[in-house]
Amino acid sequence: MYGFSQRVKIVAILGAVALVLAVAHTLVKGVPADQAFAVAAPECTDGLDNDVDGQVDYPEDTDCDSPGDPQEGELGQKLFISLSDGFNEVENGGAITYTIALRTTEDDPQLIDVRFFLPELVSFINASESGRKEGAAIVWNDVYVQPQYVKNLNVTVRVNQDVRDGIILYAEVTADGERASDTTQVKEEEFGMAPLEIFVDDGRVYAEPMEELHYKIIVKNQFGPDRNFSLYSHIPPFLSFLDASGGYKRDNRSVEWHDQFIANGETLVYDLLGVIERNTPEFSNLRLRVSSDAALGTDTTSILYEQIPPAALDLSIDDGQSTAVNGQELTYLVRISNNQGKLLTGVDIKNGLPIYTEFVSATEGGYWTGKEVHWKDITISPFGSRTLQVTLRVRSDAPLGAQLRHSVRAAGREAVDVTEVSTSASGQRNVQPVNNSRLLRKVSDRTEVRPGDTVNYTIYVQNTLENPVRNVRIEDRMDSRFSTVLNAEYGQMQGDRIVWDIPQLDPGQKWQVTYAVRVDPNVPHGTEIANVVTISGEGMESVSLTQRTYTTRIGVVTQLPRSGAPLDVIFAGIMAFFSGFPTMWIRRRSLVWLH
């Protein structure tokens, strides 16, 4: 019994010692379970973009050396850099141009050193902005990068003729600790087959943000045999893709046409539509590249914010009259001439009506705002002109001798015509109406509508060329947010547009179609609904884009101005008349009695 009690004492002492050791370890090291949960996961495996550089975790984030790297990199990237040659494949012996794009988020301009590492198996040709070759790299010192603007540097190289098929060309650029790379696969040149010819053009030299660009991609097989080919197009930065013709495939910023067939001597035309992004910096260049094997086509459009200079336009207005009589209709011709060798777009023309006149009509989409006649977004061809027509009526209360001063304004220019109200009209000349014999025209039965109203549009087409036009395609794009097509009359609805196909139009032959559109009941007051109709076909290659496009706009009003007298005013007038009649009668009787 004694031995058992001694063993119990020994066990109790050992338990007390273990308890003391556990408490001491907890005070020094902390609770083991809590310590395990306090260990943070490395940033390179947490699935978050911790340094806000657009790349997440290893191996995509170049600042991560391994999944166990505790930090992705410095928070808040200041310089963004990209590198691209616009190709997925290139033939050996072919030339390629790399574009390095730099952009800073700093508030002040930056001077940055840039180093471009040439791929192996290529020969250096040239570099923009005096880039110099140092070993296997092209170096620029103190490149000026302005905030909110993209700085582009270009390097052109030629792939060696003996490069094997399938070799990957790897190019890299570094600047201020940031890196970007590009890979292109080499494809052996196919000898004995003449390359295709590719031409790309959007018809523009300058454009502004939020404008749509319509690229025409022309592929010619003038000398080669019948063949299948693939077409590749790279959408440049700041251009948002809208649509394209043909069986295209879109992958991020690449638009591709695969398994296309072209016969010997044949020409194929593809359309690509894009819109310039709102935040595009001024003086940026939108460079669209289209390639097929060794064939390459490029179009460059510069972003320019400046207003149309006054010297670019000549403006005149004339009604051919020196005097006019009350009630006479006066027809004014407004002529706008483009003095420049580039296309003028987005020209707004405002026509202030003289006092003592009434608006009757206007051509070319001009609409009456209640104060003046307004033409919006008029396009004028290089060194071309447009003639608009507005008709007014001299009011019957116009006093003799009144000067009808009719002014028109556009892009800082103003022209004036003065006609005097008289007892007879003089100075009459034959004012020829505006020639409506044009390739494409579209009119609506009204210029203003209420929400829920129905508008009828009519499209007129006349072949004004001396040759037949085949496979004519008419596309009328509707704004589906504000309107719904009720009757397309033989047209086919394709998304937000109506399409009509005409097999052939002979010289002088006319075609027209009328369709109805219902305005959405919830359209806000003051909204302008625009419709853009375009025409294309074989034999129209000589016709400018201006003549093949027509825009119509109508305004939405929810309230009409009040007219006439209110009911309470009319009632008060009637009561005043009847109450005053007895008073006048009594007064008259009193005067008779006095006499």
DSSP line for 183-197: EEEEE---TTSPPPE
Instruction: Answer yes or no: is 42 within a domain.
Output: no
- pLDDT recorded at residue 589: 53
What is the rounded CA–CA span in Å between residue 16 and residue 70? 42
Alpha carbons 444 and 446: distance in angstroms, whole number: 5
> What is the DSSP track for 490-527?
T-EEETTEEEEEEEEE-TT-EEEEEEEEEEPTTPPTT-
Query: Nearest to residue 542, comparing CAs of 470, 473, 465, 474?
Result: 465
pLDDT of 231 reads 93
The range of the structural domain enclosing residue 19 comes to: 2-37
Q: Is the pLDDT of residue 189 over 80?
A: no
Question: What's the mean pLDDT in 459-472?
Answer: 86
Q: Tell me if 56 is assigned to some domain.
A: no
Looking at the structure, tell me whether residues 183 and 87 fall in a common domain.
Answer: yes
Whether 74 has a pLDDT exceeding 80, the answer reads: no
Residue 118 located in a structural domain: yes
In a domain, 511, yes or no: yes
Residue pair 428/318 in contact (Cβ under 8 Å)? The answer is no
Q: Do 247 and 339 belong together in one domain?
A: no
Q: Are residue 447 and residue 349 in the same domain, yes or no?
A: no
Residues 6+ apart with CB under 8 A from 454: 486, 516, 517, 518, 519
Are residues 325 and 281 both part of a single domain? no
User: Which carries the bigger pLDDT value, residue 429 or residue 367?
Assistant: 367
Residues 505 and 448 reside in one and the same domain: yes
Looking only at the bridges linking them, the beta strands covering 448-449 and 549-556 are: parallel
Domains held by the chain: number: 4
User: pLDDT higher for 47 or 230?
Assistant: 230
174/244 same-domain check: yes
The answer on 241 and 223 residing in a single domain is: yes
Residues 392 and 529 in one domain: no
Which of 459, 466, 431, 482 lies closest to 534, judged by CA?
459
pLDDT at 274: 93
**For residue 359, pLDDT beyond 60:** yes
The model's pLDDT over 130-182, given as tens digits with 9 standing for 90+, comes to 899 998 899 999 999 988 888 999 999 999 988 888 899 999 999 988 999 99
Q: How confident is the model at residue 199 (pLDDT cuts 50, 70, 90)?
A: very high
Q: Are residues 430 and 444 in the same domain?
A: no
Q: What is the mean pLDDT of the chain?
A: 80
The string of pLDDT tens digits covering residues 381-415 is: 777 778 888 998 988 888 888 888 888 888 777 88
**Do residues 211 and 278 share a domain?**
yes
| Domain shared by 357 and 329, yes or no | yes
Shared-domain flag, residues 273 and 378: no
Tell me the residue ranges of DSSP E strands in 160-266.
168-175, 178-187, 197-201, 206-207, 212-220, 227-234, 239-244, 248-251, 254-262
For 96-135, letters b (16+ CB in 10 Å) and e give bbbbbbbbbeeeeebebebbbbbbeebeeeebeeebeeee
Going across the sheet that includes 239-244, the strands are 197-201, 212-220, 267-276, 239-244
